[in-house]
Amino acid sequence: MIELLWNGPVSEAKMAKYIEYLELHTEQRVFDVGCGCGEMLIRLRERFQVQGTGIDSSFEHIAEAKRRAEARGSAVRFVEADAQSFQIAPNSFDLAMCMGSSHAYGLGSDAYRNAIKQMIPLIVPGG
């Protein structure tokens, strides 16, 4: 079991604020790249009833995400996958996020650029 609530350096208070700022609707599709233990998607599901998909290359993190989701009765899909090879059709999501995980798309300053370039086609226009 992974004890950390979040896997990034962002505080609980900041995460709560991000959730508060989001205006999501029931069944909107949310993709989280490098989702860690899945806490963000689980909370978004609990609050907005979104359809969540999270990927992470770490078996341990995905196992913990699935354990948490099951324990909280949260229907979120978690997949062990590498961000750079995971195949997704364009326009599959209303929101795509990558929190503290841009290194999944490369190193140094290329990481942010690659992350944006690869994630934008995954969301619907206006998403």
Ligand X SMILES: C[S@@+](CC[C@H](N)C(=O)[O-])C[C@H]1O[C@@H](n2cnc3c(N)ncnc32)[C@H](O)[C@@H]1O
**Residues binding ligand X (CB under 6 A):** 6-8, 34-36, 39, 55-58, 61, 82-84, 99-101, 103-104
Q: In angstroms, give the least distance from the CB of 64 to ligand X.
A: 10
Type of residue at 77 = R
Of 8 and 127, the one with the shorter C-beta distance to ligand X is 8
Nearest to 53 by CA among 117, 106, 123: 123
Burial call 28-67: b when 16+ CB within 10 Å, e when fewer: bbbbbbbbbbbbbbbbbbeebebbbbbbbbbeebbbbbbe
Q: In angstroms, give the least distance from the CB of 89 to ligand X.
A: 18
Of 29 and 68, the one with the shorter C-beta distance to ligand X is 68
Residue whose entry in the numeric block shows the structure tokens 């290329």: 110
Of 8 and 126, the one with the shorter C-beta distance to ligand X is 8
Q: In angstroms, give the least distance from the CB of 67 to ligand X.
A: 15
